[in-house]
Amino acid sequence: MHCEVFGLYPYPFDYFRPNTLEEALVLAQGDGMKFLAGGQSLVPLLNLHVAEIKGVVDLQHVASALKFVQSQQDRLRLGALWTHDELSHSSLLGGRCPLFSQAAAFIGHPRIRRRGTLGGSIAHADPLAEWILVMTLLDPQLILASAKEERQLPFHDYLLGPMMTALSDDELITAVEISLPEKATYGFTEVSRRPGDYALVATALSVGWDRDRIAQADIAISGVSDVPRTFPSISRDMCQEYPSHGLVEHIKHAVEAAVDPPSDVLAGASYRRHLAGILVEKALHQAFDEMSNAGETAAKSIGKSEGERT
Amino acid sequence: MQVEFQFNDERAICDIAGHETLLAVLRDKLGAMEVKYGCGEGACGSCVVLVDGNPLASCITLCASVDGTDIMSVKAPDPPGAWALLKDRFAAHEGAQCGFCTPGLLASCFALVQRGEKLTRQEIREALSGHLCRCTGYHHIVDAVEEAMAIWPTMS
Amino acid sequence: MANDVLTPQLSVIGKGVIREDVRKKVAGEVLYSADWVMPGMLYGKLVRALYSHAKIKKLSSQDARHVPGVVRIIEAKDVPVNQFYDDPSGLGEKVAQHKVFQDDEVRYAGEPICLVIAKTPEAAEKGARAIGVEYEPLPSIHNPLDALKDDAILVHPGGNTVVQWNVHKGNTQVAIQDPNLVHISRTYRTQFVDHLYLEPESGVGWVDNDGIVTLRCATQVVEHYRNIARMLNISENRVRIICPYVGGGFGGKEDMTVEPYLAIAAWITKKPVKMVWSRQESLQARPKRHPFVMTYDLWAKPCGDVVAMKVDVTGDAGAYALLSPRVLFAAAVVATGPYHIDHVDVTSRAVYTHNVPTSAFRGFGAMQMAFGYEQIMEEMAQKLGIDSVGFRRRHFIKKGDTLATGEIQDTAVWLNETLDKVLNELGEAPVTDDGSKRIGIGIACTMQPYGRTVWFQDHASCWLNLESDGSVILRTGVPDIGGGQAASLCQIAAEILHVPLEAVRAYYGDSALTPLAGGTFATRQLYMSGNAVVKAAQELQEKIDHVLKTAWGDEGWQWDEEGMAYSPSGLRISRSAVYEAANALHYPLSVHTTFHAQSGEGYDNKEGRAVKTFPDFTFGCHGALVEVDVQTGTVKVLRYVASHDVGVAINPLSVEGQIHGGVVQGLGYALSEEVLYQDGQCVTALFSQYMAPTAEQMPDITAIILESHEGKGPFHARGIGEPAIAPVAPAIANAVANALGPSCRVRSLPITAEKIWGELSGLDGSKI
């Protein structure tokens, strides 16, 4: 039996820094190659000798090409190499889908936020990572590029398990494309053992509105199963409802009843279940409050223009 | 492969292999022993240096990736005096005890001070949350940074 | 007598002077142990056991030998004496400690098996991975209470109890017969924690020109050269340990870490060898703080008079004794806390398990007990329906009192004074209008020994010279681990010799060239080496005075701020002139001296009594204001106040730094830190998995330093390194309990959000 030896520095591998995306994809066809984005997850694994590779394809010269926002009526296409820090500024998305900035604020510490990327986190697929939860909720199309082809894969087909994905070794996530309801508000909350650490349990949810009535809703929770999960039937209960204390209570209890969390060294099943309920409650309040704030702002501006008219 | 970068205002040309981390090269090839190995996970902050002005954990930065950059440690020449100011305030407030985390911590503080940031004590604490110090309890560190931030605008 | 030097006007002592080592450290100019480089240096990597209990059937190093760059594999058979022995209790019982390399029965996961030496660190790691070890796994035992049972698996053939200490005072059996007494019994538990100093275990070893095995490494004890000599079966005068500035110790570098491996590698290869332990192997396999299970029984009269206390303590020693006997002794001595109780029975024991060994860590057994005694006092006050602050005050020990061990407390006890300061500063708990938040306030009053137990006959030496330019050289074997150990000694020498602080230079931490001062542990260095420097400086000053009088006459000499002697008649004499005069008189201005601590008889464990245990204690009080989120159980520390009587603050800035650092390390202990093991396997071996506090969630800390002028250190100072951590966990526990309301209390550490939620939900949070 061979021994567990934690290293200080990585074992030898090659390094490539292509200037174009095309070059990068060609390089990635080589055996044992890994894309290097921010390196916040990959390099620690290499240092510790948990992962062994033949070479890295550093994306730093490609990064600017993969930092874009394409905003259409019902869709938002986001380049994969935005950093957590960049995504934490809500202005990046022109105020659309503030969930990104809400979630980014919970990631790591300033150094990690400035370096780590959306695509890197999705590729690493740590089930407790904030972006994996957000992706589970929004279920975007991932744009995956290789030297041979570009394909689209819905996130729910992409994530196969904890740190397991349908990404081929030579494929790069270049963008995520999200369908957005016309009018939606969001909630994101988590409890972690220390600020910036992976959550014990985290909740992300979206509420689509038809005036002040809920048109559709989605809820996703991490830390209650091996990968984040959604709650389609509970979410459906919210449709056509008006926000109310009773509704929040109903959803909270339904979620508590629906989850079957694991017990591990970090937290027991009952506490995780309890957190799932509390965090859904808090996230719902965030989404509802955002709606009513928006409503008030709208009402004020209407009032003002009416005032001007008279 | 060969990489070239500025390190503390001197040109460094190093023959390296792709897997070598910036930490390994700075220490083993350039003798920059002020850059410390503390965890290898990018988590403790002892290995932080400034790469083009941004604090990076050198233990999880591949050296090949910093080709063409300008890198600074706490030993960088310092005409504007921001390093000197920080060092002086850290010494005056005893913001270091064992001193092992200090050079990395100062690199992050340098970036904050140079940006002309004026932060509250809690904001300073958040900005430094990627650095672990086990001796000082942080209080004296925050004292030093707060004061350096107040003084810096009068110097620059 | 060393202590009678308190002068009305001190020029350096008591000033928050800037430490020279700190100036060097902030400039990045200090070369720590891992920063040392030598020509032709090799690198070592340990192979560690995968199982917590197994027989090693076969070790195959064939593959490893063929890894390019691998120079040598060192195994048990290569070590002249592969086993360490010592007398950890100091009472004359020789105990077999760990082996250098385990070659037979592995007793914890991570136990060193062999060492790979290679030309690069990468090759050493590859070589280590290529070592094949064939194990026969054996059943293991991980709960110390199970290990005490009759049919328990034996970790060592002599039985699983490492040591058992007893303290008896009065007659508990008779005293508790009174049926009117109120009795409560509670069990408190603490966890494994790691020192997590930022500098990993590291060093370089080589054989020097004279054949001396030399180690330059991070250690708290340069006297380990003796253990190394025994291991190599060579004379003690052929091993030298040099200790540069250490990047944090906290007790974790008190036992040997890299020392034996550097020594055997250099000895066998005859080349310089460097070894740096990875953070992950350090977290996984290096000794931790003892988890304690403490059961307190307390009897009191309904009026609020405590009558009797029984304490039963079990500490998990892990697989080897290391310093467990001493840790559990400190626990027994302070088990009743700073309270005067007439009838006391304490039993404390260390128990072997197949867990990672536990040993020294700031607070050394005494701090765990504070989590017990400061909660049982609070819980009894609650049970009696009386104010817990008043209840404490009523029972505080006073100067002249007999402690539970039978010894007399012979210095000032400023418990009321520190408590007053804390309560005053803390103020009233604010009211919150957020229904999901509750505010709680809690205090803890503690005692913590400083210095070694008296039967160790502790002593520390130093050597002090006046140089020809008037500067002063201080040579002392003190390892400086970051607390300003060397800097304080310079301050003391400068004060007594009337020289500017800059004129004193300390050479420190070299077992061959600086007089041995004992290790930097047990909060002993200021007390021991401080007194040694006082003694040496006084003797040197007497010599200087003698030279002055002999050469220039008895003029009633005084000293000015620049360190010049002047007389009422108008003479001004520089120190270099004094040096020259001394030279002409053939009268060397050089003093080598030794300070001997108060010594005494060994502890009478049968009777549970002592004339004296530790030289003295440091007392203090901490108070915390916390906010608990009742929905999630999370805790936020809003305000923290810490006050200690330090006798005299040699450097108040450093004292404050020790208090701040102790508080934050204590807050991590109280709220988040835990090294988790499953069946002896570490599951939190990553730095990022170990929840040590970052700046973000820590509060500002108000440190209030009081000076009773009654310590036993130099200028009547008391030690503060360890005392600063003891009150934190119970203060937080009491504050959280106060926030949660009656009948809710988390009695196990760390006080996690989950446990708090468990208490609020009517589950037993301590058992979560």
DSSP characters over B31-56: --TTS--S-SSS-S-TTEEEETTEEE
User: In the predicted model, is pLDDT for residue C409 greater than 50?
Assistant: yes
Searching chain C, which residue's CA lies closest to the CA of residue A5?
A: C129
| Percentage of chain C modeled with pLDDT above 90 | 93
Examine residue B110 and state whether it is found in any structural domain, yes or no.
Answer: yes
Examine residue B38 and state whether it is found in any structural domain, yes or no.
Answer: yes
What values do phi and psi take at C704, rounded to 5?
-115, 115
Examine residue A1 and state whether it is found in any structural domain, yes or no.
Answer: no
Residues of A with CB below 8 A from B54's CB?
114
For C389, the domain range is: 292-453+603-767
Examine residue A306 and state whether it is found in any structural domain, yes or no.
Answer: no
Examine residue A139 and state whether it is found in any structural domain, yes or no.
Answer: yes
Characterize the bridge pairing of strands B54-57 and B70-72. Answer: unpaired
Give the closest residue to C70 by CA, choosing from C128, C129, C124, C125: C124
B68 and B116 belong to one structural domain? no
A partners (3+ CB pairs within 8 A) are: B, C
Q: What is the mean pLDDT of residues A137-161?
A: 97
Asked if C720 and C656 count as a contact pair (C-beta separation under 8 A), the reply is no
C646 and C757 belong to one structural domain? yes
A108-129 pLDDT per residue, tens = 999 999 999 999 999 999 999 9
Taking CA atoms, C756 is separated from A269, C267, C287, C752, in Å, by: 15, 54, 29, 6
B106 and B53 belong to one structural domain? no
To 10 degrees, the CA torsion angle through A289, A292, A294, A296?
-130
Of A154, A179, A204, the last residue of a domain is A179
C418 and C497 belong to one structural domain? no
Show the CA angle centred on residue C684, arms to residues A269 and C218, nearest 5°.
Answer: 160
Structure tokens at A233: 């039937």
Of A179, A214, A246, the last residue of a domain is A179
C60 vs A: CB within 8 A:
no
DSSP B9: T
C436-469 pLDDT per residue, tens = 999 999 999 999 999 999 999 999 999 999 999 9
C361 and C438 belong to one structural domain? yes
Please tell me the total count of domains within chain B.
2
DSSP A177: E
Asked if C121 and C39 count as a contact pair (C-beta separation under 8 A), the reply is no
**Distance (Å, rounded) from C-alpha B95 to C-alpha C595?**
32
B53 and B104 belong to one structural domain? no
C571 and C633 belong to one structural domain? no
Q: Which residue has the higher pLDDT, A306 or B54?
A: B54
- Residue A255, domain CATH: 3.30.390.50
Of C563, C581, C596, the last residue of a domain is C596
The CA radius of gyration of chain C, in Å to the nearest whole number, is 27
B45 vs A: CB within 8 A:
yes
Closest Cα of chain C to A10: distance in Å? 8
C64-78 pLDDT per residue, tens = 999 999 999 999 999
C41 vs B: CB within 8 A:
no
Choose among C132, C631, C633: nearest Cβ to A2: C132
Choose among A1, A197, A268: nearest Cβ to C135: A1
Q: How far, rounded to the nearest angstrom, does the alpha carbon of residue A117 sit from its chain's CA centroid?
A: 11
B partners (3+ CB pairs within 8 A) are: A, C
Structure tokens at C208: 């020097």
**Distance (Å, rounded) from C-alpha C477 to C-alpha C518?**
7
Searching chain A, which residue's CA lies closest to the CA of residue C282?
A: A6
C231 and C242 belong to one structural domain? yes
Searching chain A, which residue's CA lies closest to the CA of residue C137?
A: A1
Identify the helix (H) or strand (E) that includes residue A240: none
Contact C281 A9 (CB under 8 A): no
Of B72, B94, B110, the last residue of a domain is B72
- 3-class secondary structure per residue, C245-296: CCCCCCCCCCCCCCHHHHHHHHHHHCCCEEEECCHHHHHHHCCECCCEEEEE
**Distance (Å, rounded) from C-alpha C551 to C-alpha C544?**
11
Beta strand segments in C131-234, E: 132-137, 161-169, 182-189, 202-207, 213-217
B66 and B88 belong to one structural domain? no
Choose among B36, B94, B124: nearest Cβ to C22: B94
Q: What is the mean pLDDT of residues A214-232?
A: 97
C691-725 pLDDT per residue, tens = 999 999 999 999 999 999 999 999 999 999 999 99
In this prediction, residue A299 has a pLDDT band, given cuts at 50, 70 and 90, of low
Examine residue C608 and state whether it is found in any structural domain, yes or no.
Answer: yes
User: In the predicted model, is pLDDT for residue A2 greater than 60?
Assistant: no
B151 and B101 belong to one structural domain? yes
In this prediction, residue C96 has a pLDDT band, given cuts at 50, 70 and 90, of confident
Of A127, A154, A179, the last residue of a domain is A179
**Distance (Å, rounded) from C-alpha A110 to C-alpha B144?**
20
Examine residue B77 and state whether it is found in any structural domain, yes or no.
Answer: no
Residues of A with CB below 8 A from C679's CB?
none
Asked if C704 and C421 count as a contact pair (C-beta separation under 8 A), the reply is yes
In chain C, % helix, strand, coil (3-state, to 5) comes to 30, 25, 45
B64 and B15 belong to one structural domain? yes
Closest Cα of chain A to B3: distance in Å? 12
In this prediction, residue A303 has a pLDDT band, given cuts at 50, 70 and 90, of very low
Searching chain C, which residue's CA lies closest to the CA of residue B33?
A: C35
Examine residue C84 and state whether it is found in any structural domain, yes or no.
Answer: yes
A40 and A133 belong to one structural domain? no
Closest Cα of chain C to B154: distance in Å? 22
pLDDT score recorded for residue A306: 41
To 10 degrees, the CA torsion angle through A35, A40, A43, A49?
-120
Examine residue A9 and state whether it is found in any structural domain, yes or no.
Answer: no
Residues of B with CB below 8 A from A60's CB?
65
Q: What is the mean pLDDT of residues B15-41?
A: 96
C393 vs B: CB within 8 A:
no
**Distance (Å, rounded) from C-alpha C627 to C-alpha C263?**
51
C24 and C69 belong to one structural domain? no
Least confident of A231-235, C512-516, C639-643, C676-680: C676-680
DSSP C402: B
B132 vs A: CB within 8 A:
no
C514-568 pLDDT per residue, tens = 999 999 999 999 999 999 999 999 999 999 999 999 999 998 999 998 889 999 9
Please tell me the total count of domains within chain C.
3
Q: Which residues contact C348 (CB under 8 A, 6 or more apart)?
A: C164, C165, C311, C312, C313, C314, C315, C328, C329, C331, C332, C335
Examine residue B148 and state whether it is found in any structural domain, yes or no.
Answer: yes
User: In the predicted model, is pLDDT for residue C2 greater than 70?
Assistant: no
In this prediction, residue C766 has a pLDDT band, given cuts at 50, 70 and 90, of low
For A192, the domain range is: 184-299
Show the CA angle centred on residue C724, arms to residues C721 and C729, nearest 5°.
Answer: 135
pLDDT score recorded for residue A275: 98
Of C596, C621, C637, the last residue of a domain is C596
C75 vs A: CB within 8 A:
no
Q: What is the mean pLDDT of residues C180-204?
A: 98
Examine residue A8 and state whether it is found in any structural domain, yes or no.
Answer: no
Closest Cα of chain C to A275: distance in Å? 7
pLDDT score recorded for residue A298: 56
A190 and A120 belong to one structural domain? no
User: In the predicted model, is pLDDT for residue B43 greater than 80?
Assistant: yes
Q: Which of C15, C198, C637, C704 should we substitute to test contact with B (largest number of B Cβ atoms within 10 Å)?
A: C198
B108 vs A: CB within 8 A:
yes
C407 and C545 belong to one structural domain? no
| Percentage of chain B modeled with pLDDT above 70 | 100
Q: What is the mean pLDDT of residues C480-502?
A: 96
Searching chain B, which residue's CA lies closest to the CA of residue C29?
A: B34
B126 vs A: CB within 8 A:
yes
**Distance (Å, rounded) from C-alpha C544 to C-alpha C565?**
10
Examine residue A216 and state whether it is found in any structural domain, yes or no.
Answer: yes
**Distance (Å, rounded) from C-alpha C414 to C-alpha C421?**
11
Residues of A with CB below 8 A from B49's CB?
none
B49 and B30 belong to one structural domain? yes
A190 and A133 belong to one structural domain? no
Least confident of A254-263, B95-104, C16-25, C426-435: C426-435
pLDDT score recorded for residue A94: 84
C523 and C423 belong to one structural domain? no
Contact B33 C35 (CB under 8 A): yes
Q: Which of A3, A192, A248, A266 should we substitute to test contact with C (largest number of C Cβ atoms within 10 Å)?
A: A3
Burial status of residue C689 (CB atoms within 10 A of its CB: 0-12, 13-18, 19 or more): buried
pLDDT score recorded for residue A4: 59
B66 and B86 belong to one structural domain? no
A47 and A85 belong to one structural domain? no
Identify the helix (H) or strand (E) that includes residue C712: none
Give the closest residue to A7 by CA, choosing from C120, C49, C263: C120
B108 and B147 belong to one structural domain? yes
Contact C697 A194 (CB under 8 A): yes
In this prediction, residue A5 has a pLDDT band, given cuts at 50, 70 and 90, of low
Contact A7 C278 (CB under 8 A): yes
Closest Cα of chain C to A274: distance in Å? 8
Q: In what order do the strands lie in the sheet with C105-106?
A: C105-106, C54-60, C132-137
Examine residue A305 and state whether it is found in any structural domain, yes or no.
Answer: no
Closest Cα of chain B to A50: distance in Å? 12
C320 and C415 belong to one structural domain? yes
Q: How far, rounded to the nearest angstrom, does the alpha carbon of residue C387 sit from its chain's CA centroid?
A: 34
In this prediction, residue C8 has a pLDDT band, given cuts at 50, 70 and 90, of very low
Residues of A with CB below 8 A from B57's CB?
111
Q: Which amino acid is at A52?
A: E
User: In the predicted model, is pLDDT for residue B57 greater than 70?
Assistant: yes
**Distance (Å, rounded) from C-alpha A203 to C-alpha A224?**
10
pLDDT score recorded for residue A195: 84
Of C551, C581, C596, the last residue of a domain is C596
Contact A3 C134 (CB under 8 A): no
Show the CA angle centred on residue C369, arms to residues C366 and C370, nearest 5°.
Answer: 95
DSSP C53-115: SEEEEEEE-HHHHTSTTEEEEE-GGGSSS-EEEE-TTSSS--EEEEESS--SEE-STT-EEEE
Contact A44 B20 (CB under 8 A): no
A233 and A292 belong to one structural domain? yes
- Residue B35, domain CATH: 3.10.20.30
Taking CA atoms, A5 is separated from C48, C54, C539, in Å, by: 8, 19, 54
**Distance (Å, rounded) from C-alpha B94 to C-alpha B151?**
18
For B112, the domain range is: 82-155
Examine residue A3 and state whether it is found in any structural domain, yes or no.
Answer: no
A50 and A33 belong to one structural domain? yes
C337 and C383 belong to one structural domain? yes
B63 and B9 belong to one structural domain? yes
C757 vs A: CB within 8 A:
yes
Please tell me the total count of domains within chain A.
3
User: In the predicted model, is pLDDT for residue C396 greater than 90?
Assistant: yes
Of B33, B53, B72, the last residue of a domain is B72
C634 and C751 belong to one structural domain? yes
B30 and B87 belong to one structural domain? no
A74 and A115 belong to one structural domain? yes
Examine residue B88 and state whether it is found in any structural domain, yes or no.
Answer: yes
Taking CA atoms, C755 is separated from A39, A180, A189, C568, in Å, by: 36, 40, 20, 72
ipTM: 0.98
B67 and B132 belong to one structural domain? no
C235-257 pLDDT per residue, tens = 999 999 999 999 999 999 999 99
Contact B96 C30 (CB under 8 A): no
Residues of A with CB below 8 A from C125's CB?
5, 7-8, 11, 49
- Residue C413, domain CATH: 3.30.365.10
Q: In what order do the strands lie in the sheet with C565-566?
A: C558-559, C565-566, C572-573
- Residue B140, domain CATH: 1.10.150.120
Examine residue C2 and state whether it is found in any structural domain, yes or no.
Answer: no
Q: Name the 3-class secondary structure at B11.
A: strand
Of B43, B72, B101, the last residue of a domain is B72
Examine residue C576 and state whether it is found in any structural domain, yes or no.
Answer: yes
Structure tokens at A56: 């890295």
A81 and A166 belong to one structural domain? yes
Instruction: Look up tokens 């989404």; give the residue.
Output: A287
Contact C694 A270 (CB under 8 A): no
A225 and A119 belong to one structural domain? no
Q: Which residues contact C239 (CB under 8 A, 6 or more apart)?
A: C212, C213, C214, C215, C225, C226, C228, C229, C232, C263, C511
Instruction: Look up tokens 């330019």; give the residue.
Output: C469
Residues of C with CB below 8 A from B134's CB?
195-198, 248, 250, 661, 665, 692
**Distance (Å, rounded) from C-alpha C84 to C-alpha C96?**
6
Characterize the bridge pairing of strands C459-466 and C437-450. Answer: unpaired
Contact B87 C23 (CB under 8 A): yes
Residues of chain B numbered 35-74 and touching chain C (CB < 8 Å): 36-41, 43-44, 46, 73-74
Q: Which amino acid is at C588?
A: P
Residues of chain C numbered 724-753 and touching chain A (CB < 8 Å): 752-753
A174 and A70 belong to one structural domain? yes
Searching chain C, which residue's CA lies closest to the CA of residue B138?
A: C695
C281 vs A: CB within 8 A:
yes
C332 and C422 belong to one structural domain? yes
